[in-house]
Chain A
Amino acid sequence: MSAALIFAHGFFSSEDVRIAIVVGAVVAVVSGTVGTFTVMRGQSFAGEALGDIGITGGSGAFLFGVGPLWGFVAAGVVAAAAMELIGIQRPRGRDLATGIVLGAALGLAALLLYLDSTLHNTTGAGRTILFGSVFAVSVGTLPLIAGLGAGVLALIALLYRPLLLSCVSAEMAAARGIAVRAVGAAYLLALALAVALAAISIGAILSTALLIGPAATALRLTRRPGLAIAVAGLVGVAAMWLGILLAYDSYYWPPKETGWPVSFFVVTLIFLAYLLSGLPALLRRRGRSG
């Protein structure tokens, strides 16, 4: 197969594609790093909820005419603080705290979207926020995304050891003098920022895919946290890039010849990666029993 067949005409010369490739890589690395801890801590629901809550922020930002990224960030941080206050740190109340905040925030999102459509006559706002598109990121947002991404990675680097220890055993971490709750809260902040970043590129409701999928895949392949972070980043970047390529190629695909959404490809690739990563364990089990 020749390169011209794989890379449709103009793939590398398109400005949108180049931005998408950079943004996709940054977002995938940040999501994979934070996501590894999210999966280890069993906080997938919080990660997913923060993505949905981005809808509230996005629609609010639309209403007040600020950039959507700021809306995602603001709503995420506020929601993370609320979850922390209600009690996300206790394993038993965790999902409930997340759920209550999510419910209230989505109620607010319904109101904001309604106001968006009545005051501004924009009906597309909801769709843009929910499903986003990495091709729609402007050059101006690029430094902001890179800066926020670097900030999140720095925060995780700073938290790395205490966070890891409190993932393994909160009691042991506390005994060693780690402020477990403060570490958890700081991590939640990193999670909110990482989800906001992912939301801008593949949409609020699909940002979970990038956060959880690569990390869960990596943690099925290796138990070493450092290695898992690297694998998660790689899987995420691969899914993003392949997704962008396929979306670009799909421009002339049926049924409408307007292209298939990037987010669909990214999510499907991540889902497949997760399913495949279960194979080694499955084969081992088969081998043992057979």
Chain B
Amino acid sequence: MFSGFMVNAWTVGSIVAVVAGLVGFFTVLRGSAFVAHAIPNGSFAGAAGATLLGINTLVGLGAFSLLGALSIGVLGRRGRHDVVTALALVMMLGLGALFLSFSAQYAPEIESLLFGEVLGISANQVAPTAALAVACVAAIVALYRPLMLSSVLAEVGEARGVSAFAMELCFLVVVALAATMTVPVVGTLLIFSLMIGAPAAARSFTDRPLVAMALSVAIALVTVWSAIAASYETNYPVGFFVGSAGAVAYALGRIWAGWRGGRAVGRAVVNPAPTIVT
């Protein structure tokens, strides 16, 4: 399980989990679950297009993720955010359907893009994944304070000169980067479980942002590791285990929060606002 090609799976899986845990924390904090679903999902069209043109899949994924992120950001200024996200997503998917109909070979390749192929990761995928991961983490570190402020108290942020629109665009670009690196590994559809389940669970356990972020990364790592191990043992797709583990982690978090909330009646812990440590 830890030899040969599996080493790549463990390495890349761990990198993906760290990024998903970090980016996911802000996703949940900002209530941007839909965007976190739409960008990776729509970027699959880029992969289909890249296959058609015979260029590197990563380039197609990156281009479409960024395109999706920027159109959601820009159109979202005028229209309703959820509507714009939905429409940008379907437009990308529509293009994906078109590219698919043009390309000769189909089937398993596309399903693996949608649902991931973590056990088939080759050694030459490790370097680009790691590079994109470093970029993602660096962006989160650099943006940490303004992004946190803008996510929690947008008005205060504006007053202090942090443009909510600029932060939204930055956040969307980070999600696009994360999508580009994670999609070939866990698939367009399931990166999302990792980016929602783990941080949502983490936030049920603690209100402190840094602790929650660390916990979110830890839960994501455990999710990915156990999913890889289970997939290796059973041959079932890794996405199945990632998806289920995300839901289980969230359920545990809710049970914990409910139990703690029950003990601390009167402490107003219904959806506590996170404390900002600046």
Contact = CB atoms under 8 A, between A and B. Distances in A.
Contacts of A266: 94
A59 to B, nearest CB: 10
Contact of B193 (A107, A123, A278): A107
A209 B94 contact: yes
A104 B34 contact: no
Interface in A232-288: 255-256, 258-261, 263-264, 266-268, 270-271, 274, 278, 281-282
A255 B271 CA distance: 54
Contacts of B200: 96, 99-100
A76 B79 CA distance: 28
Nearest to B42: A205
A92 B94 contact: no
B247 A104 contact: yes
A264 B187 CA distance: 22
A263 B94 CA distance: 6
Contact of B33 (A95, A104, A109): A95
A96 B196 contact: yes
Interface of A: prevailing SS: helix
A160 interface: no
Interface string B238-267: 011111101100100000000000000000
B141 interface: no
B96 to A, nearest CB: 8
B28 interface: yes
Interface in B182-209: 187, 189-190, 192-193, 196-197, 200
Contacts of A39: 80, 83
Contacts of A205: 41, 90, 93
Given A44-B34, A110-B239, A114-B237, A131 B97 contact: yes
B89 interface: yes
Contacts of A109: 115, 189
Interface stretch (A24-32, A45-53, A64-72, A186-194): A45-53
Contacts of B93: 205-206, 267
B90 A52 contact: no
Interface stretch (B101-109, B121-129, B142-150): B101-109
A103 B24 CA distance: 14
Contacts of B34: 44-45, 48, 95, 98-99
Contact of B111 (A92, A95, A113, A282): A113
B97 A103 contact: no
B143 to A, nearest CB: 22
A187 to B, nearest CB: 16
Interface of B: 28, 31-34, 36-38, 41, 78-80, 82-83, 85-87, 89-91, 93-95, 97-98, 100-102, 106-108, 110-111, 114-116, 187, 189-190, 192-193, 196-197, 200, 236-237, 239-244, 246-247, 250, 271
20 contacts: A44-B85, A96-B200, A98-B34, A103-B193, A103-B247, A104-B193, A107-B243, A107-B246, A110-B116, A110-B190, A111-B236, A111-B237, A113-B237, A203-B97, A205-B93, A206-B90, A213-B90, A267-B90, A274-B79, A281-B78
Given A101-B247, A205-B41, 12 more contacts: A44-B34, A44-B82, A98-B33, A99-B36, A108-B244, A111-B239, A111-B240, A113-B115, A205-B90, A260-B101, A264-B98, A270-B87
